[in-house]
C-alpha cells in the first residue's frame, strides 16, 4: 500500500505540471489580454483611462515579458501560496475568493448530503420491490428529475415563488448581509436560503444516483452468492445489506474524483440565474474577461482536487471491495 501511494504521489507531480502548462496555454490563446479588453470597455463607456496605472500593473506582473517567463512566475507563486492578483477586482486572488469559496463548499456539501440521503432509500426500495407500483412511480419521478435541466427548474421555481408568494428567491442570503463578516445572523440567513439551490441542484443528482444504485443492486441480487444466502435461510434484510448493497456502492466511491472539483465549481448556470454568491459565476466571469490569475488559479485548484479525488477513490474502493486490488499479484 505504501509503495502504491508513493508511486501515485510521484505521478501526480508531472500530471499537475502538464495540466498547468495546458491551463496557461488555453488562457493565453485568446488575442490580447485583460488590460486591452479593459481599456476598450472604458473607451466604449466614454470613461477616462489611466494608462500609467495599466503600464505599471503590466510591468509588475510581467505582462511585458515572454509567455514562458509569465508562466514561471505564475507557477512559482502558487507553490508559495501566492495565487496572483485579480485585475478586475483589484485585489489578490486569495481575498477575492474568500467567502465565496466557503459558501460554495457549504452549499455543495449540503447538496451531496441531500442527494445521498434521498438516493439511498429510493434506490434500495426500487431494487427490492422491482416492477411494483412504487418502483414505477419512483422511476417516473426520477426520469422527470433527470430530464429537467437545473436552470429550467430554477426559472420555474423563481416564477412560482414570485407569483404565488410574492417573494424573490435570489441570492444565498439576505441582501443586507452580502458584505458583512460571518456571524450568527448571517449564518441563519444563509441556512434559510440555502435549501432552494440545494433542492434545485440536488434533484437531478438524486434521480441519477438512485437509478444507478437500483441497477447495480439488481445486478448483485441476481448473483449466485445471494441465491445461496437465501437458500441457507438468511433474513431478507441481511441478504441485501450484508454484501450486495456494499458491492453496489462502488460507483459512489468512484465518484469522489468528480465530486471534489464539483464542490468548488458548483452548478454555474443555476448560480447565475439565482444570483448566488458562489465561485461558479466568478470563474465564468474571469474566463470571459481574461483575468488570467483568477481563472488560472480556479482551474488549477479544480485539477488538483480531481487528481486527489481519484487517488482517494482508488484507495477507498480497495477497502470497500476485497475483489479490488491496488497491485496485481505475481505468479
pLDDT digits (tens, 9 = 90+) for 132-183: 898 899 888 888 878 888 778 888 888 877 778 666 677 777 777 777 777 7
Residue 128: closest CA among 254, 251, 255, 235: 235
The pTM is what? 0.76
Are the C-beta atoms of 270 and 200 separated by less than 8 Å? yes
pLDDT at 2 over 70: yes
pLDDT, position 304: 84
> How confident is the model over 236-246, as a mean pLDDT?
78
CATH T-level assignment (fold) for domain 96-320: MetI-like fold (1.10.3720)
Task: Write down the residue that cell numbers 501560496 correspond to.
Answer: 81
pLDDT digits (tens, 9 = 90+) for 111-120: 888 888 888 8
Q: How far is CA 38 from CA 27, 29, 278, in A?
A: 16, 17, 24
pLDDT, position 263: 60
Q: CATH 1.10.3720.10 in the chain: give the residue spans.
A: 96-320
Are the C-beta atoms of 226 and 244 separated by less than 8 Å? yes
> How confident is the model over 189-193, as a mean pLDDT?
80
pLDDT digits (tens, 9 = 90+) for 29-43: 777 667 777 777 667
Where is pLDDT greater, at 28 or 22?
A: 22
> How confident is the model over 73-84, as a mean pLDDT?
83
Amino acid at each position: 500500500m505504501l509503495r502504491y501511494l508513493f508511486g501515485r504521489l510521484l505521478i501526480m507531480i508531472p500530471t499537475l505540471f502538464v495540466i498547468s502548462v495546458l491551463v496557461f496555454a488555453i488562457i493565453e490563446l485568446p488575442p490580447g489580454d485583460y488590460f486591452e479588453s479593459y481599456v476598450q470597455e472604458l473607451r466604449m463607456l466614454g470613461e477616462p483611462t489611466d494608462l500609467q496605472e495599466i503600464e505599471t500593473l503590466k510591468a509588475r506582473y510581467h505582462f511585458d515579458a515572454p509567455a514562458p517567463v509569465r508562466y514561471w512566475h505564475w507557477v512559482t507563486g502558487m507553490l508559495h501560496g501566492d495565487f496572483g492578483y485579480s485585475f478586475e477586482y483589484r485585489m489578490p486572488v486569495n481575498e477575492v475568493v474568500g467567502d465565496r469559496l466557503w459558501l460554495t463548499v457549504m452549499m455543495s456539501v449540503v447538496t451531496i448530503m441531500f442527494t445521498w440521503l434521498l438516493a439511498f432509500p429510493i434506490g434500495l426500495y426500487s431494487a427490492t420491490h422491482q416492477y411494483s407500483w412504487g418502483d414505477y412511480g419512483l422511476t417516473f419521478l426520477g426520469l422527470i428529475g433527470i430530464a429537467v435541466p437545473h436552470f429550467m427548474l430554477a426559472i420555474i421555481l423563481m416564477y412560482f415563488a414570485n407569483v404565488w408568494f410574492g417573494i424573490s428567491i435570489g441570492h444565498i442570503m439576505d441582501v443586507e448581509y452580502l458584505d458583512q463578516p460571518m456571524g450568527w445572523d448571517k449564518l441563519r440567513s444563509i441556512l434559510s436560503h440555502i435549501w432552494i439551490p440545494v433542492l434545485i441542484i440536488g434533484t437531478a443528482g438524486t434521480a441519477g444516483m438512485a437509478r444507478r444504485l437500483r441497477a447495480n443492486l439488481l445486478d448483485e441480487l441476481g448473483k449466485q452468492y445471494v441465491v445461496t444466502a437465501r437458500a441457507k435461510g438468511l433474513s431478507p434484510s441481511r441478504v441485501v445489506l450484508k454484501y450486495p448493497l456494499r458491492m453496489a456502492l462502488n460507483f459512489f466511491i468512484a465518484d469522489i474524483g468528480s465530486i471534489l472539483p464539483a464542490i468548488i465549481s458548483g452548478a454555474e448556470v443555476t448560480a447565475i440565474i439565482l444570483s448566488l454568491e458562489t465561485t461558479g459565476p466568478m470563474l465564468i466571469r474571469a474566463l470571459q474577461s481574461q483575468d488570467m490569475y483568477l481563472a488560472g488559479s480556479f482551474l488549477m485548484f479544480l485539477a488538483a482536487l480531481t487528481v486527489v479525488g481519484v487517488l482517494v477513490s482508488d484507495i477507498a474502493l480497495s477497502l470497500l471491495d476485497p475483489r479490488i486490488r491496488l497491485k496485481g499479484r505475481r505468479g
